[in-house]
Structure 1
């Protein structure tokens, strides 16, 4: 479906953004992991569009950007319009359009989905907190909070680590304010009044640390490749540890050097919907 065709879907009030999302439920379902219920996904997307007039306006201005963001959320198996996956309006060439941004809960969900960790800890440290961590000496950070304090002070640090199912502790990621601000500067639209960096600053600090942690723990994409390896070995009735792994449709490699919010919708979105690929419905 081309941008022009998508735009024509909004020609009348009866085919507004919410109605369009409902109409393309099956196209979104094709790329969802198996644990995601298409009806629930669509209901969440429609609900957030109908709740926020600015989002509805942005979706009407560029329907292809809306569907591109929803496609990304569907492929990752994250809930749109929540702290798993934000839908936000952003200004492009003087008008509002939809931008999709993974939230910290989405990053954590992708870690849990790999099945290798028992818990993920992501916390911010404020000025009046007590925080100690010495790499090589301490297994985990020591963080004390005065819960009776009226004001813990401004954000100072953020940290993240995972406890693996065998009890081991992953690498501990600790970022200071300067490092978080550097990540923010690389995020397109972070200075916009609509950006989650402005409206949910603490959550975006946590998202930054959780995203960095994914470099050191198994992710859902890695888990999927291991599942494919196991399936191939069973099908062949013999182990084949050196056999190349197929890349499942709908899963892309993570570029650790990319901006923290590299998931934003491109300025010139591609045609919608995409051509269905074999295995697109596999669990990510």
Structure 2
């Protein structure tokens, strides 16, 4: 999809970015995961553009950048214009255009969707909080907050870890201010007034830790690829067995087990209303 192609589409459809998104509904739907509803995705994307004049202008300036960001969100199955996937204007060669940025809720969504974890914990530590964690000695951090204090102080640390479905704790990621600021400096457009680093600093600290956590736990794409590969190998082995004239026997259940094999369970993450803060401990629905 080139800039000229998309620009032509905008001109044909009343020169509006919302109309362009509507026109490319089928293209977006083709790359979405099965759990995402194209109508809902498009409606939310159009709504964000209509509510924010800067975004609408940025989309008008470079329609290809808008569609590129929406395609990225669609492929990941994340909701555009929320803390799952930010749509922000940024200056490029003197004019505004749209940039897509994955948020911390998006990082957590991809972890849950893999189906390997029961909960993901991402939280910031402020100056007046008490935080204790010693790798190799402590399984999980101890974080005490005085909820009665009016001001907990400036952001000091951020941490993230996952509890796997077997009860084990993943690697614990802990980042201090210097490490977060280094990540911010490497983020394109982070100094812009439109950047989520300026408007949603705490959320971006959490996104940085959650993103580091994805290196240590399965995420949607890699985990499901492994599951599909394993299923394909089993299916190929069964076809070979049947072709050889051998009827495979059903395995006997282990003592205390179930007669039915339990396959991978699809993790689900329920999104809050746009703009609403998520809890620090994000639990998938029962």
Is TM more than 0.5 here?
Answer: yes
1:46 maps to: 46
Q: What is the distance in 1 between the residues matched to 2:86 and 2:13?
A: 25
Q: What is the distance in 2 between the residues matched to 1:90 and 1:222?
A: 31
Q: Once the two structures are superposed, what CA deviation does each residue of 1:239-263 show, in whole Å capped at 9, x if it has no partner?
A: 99xxxxxxxxxxxxxxxxxxxxxxx
SS at match of 1:135: coil
Q: Once the two structures are superposed, what CA deviation does each residue of 1:142-169 show, in whole Å capped at 9, x if it has no partner?
A: 0011111110000000000000000000
Q: What is the distance in 2 between the residues matched to 1:145 and 1:65?
A: 42
Q: What is the distance in 1 between the residues matched to 2:4 and 2:138?
A: 57
2:166 maps to: 166
- Quote how far apart the aligned CAs of 1:194 are: 0.2
1:142 maps to: 142
Q: Once the two structures are superposed, what CA deviation does each residue of 1:192-244 show, in whole Å capped at 9, x if it has no partner?
A: 0000000000000000000000011011112221222133124314499xxxx
2:192 maps to: 192
- Quote how far apart the aligned CAs of 1:9 are: 2.4
Once superposed, what is the RMSD of the aligned Cα atoms? Answer: 1.5
The 5 Å alignment of 1:108-119 reads 108-119=108-119
Is the CA contact (8 Å cut-off) linking 1:9 and 1:16 kept in structure 2? Answer: no
Q: What is the distance in 2 between the residues matched to 1:152 and 1:90?
A: 32
Q: What is the distance in 2 between the residues matched to 1:12 and 1:61?
A: 16
In structure 2, the CA distance between the partners of 1:31 and 1:13, relative to structure 1 (3 Å rule), is closer
Q: Once the two structures are superposed, what CA deviation does each residue of 1:11-42 show, in whole Å capped at 9, x if it has no partner?
A: 37724001100110000111111111111111
The 5 Å alignment of 1:1-284 reads 1-11=1-11, 14-238=14-238
Q: What is the distance in 2 between the residues matched to 1:228 and 1:221?
A: 11
> Does 1 or 2 have the higher relative contact order (CA < 8 Å, sep 6+)?
1
Q: What is the distance in 2 between the residues matched to 1:209 and 1:47?
A: 30
Q: How many residues align?
A: 240
| Superposition misfits of 4+ residues, deviation over 6 angstroms | none
Q: What is the distance in 1 between the residues matched to 2:133 and 2:100?
A: 34
Is the CA contact (8 Å cut-off) linking 2:13 and 2:19 kept in structure 1? Answer: no
Instruction: Name the TM-score, length of structure 1 as normaliser.
Output: 0.82
Is the CA contact (8 Å cut-off) linking 1:233 and 1:239 kept in structure 2? Answer: no
SS at match of 2:10: coil
Structure 1: any 5+ residue segments left out of the alignment?
241-284
SS at match of 1:83: coil
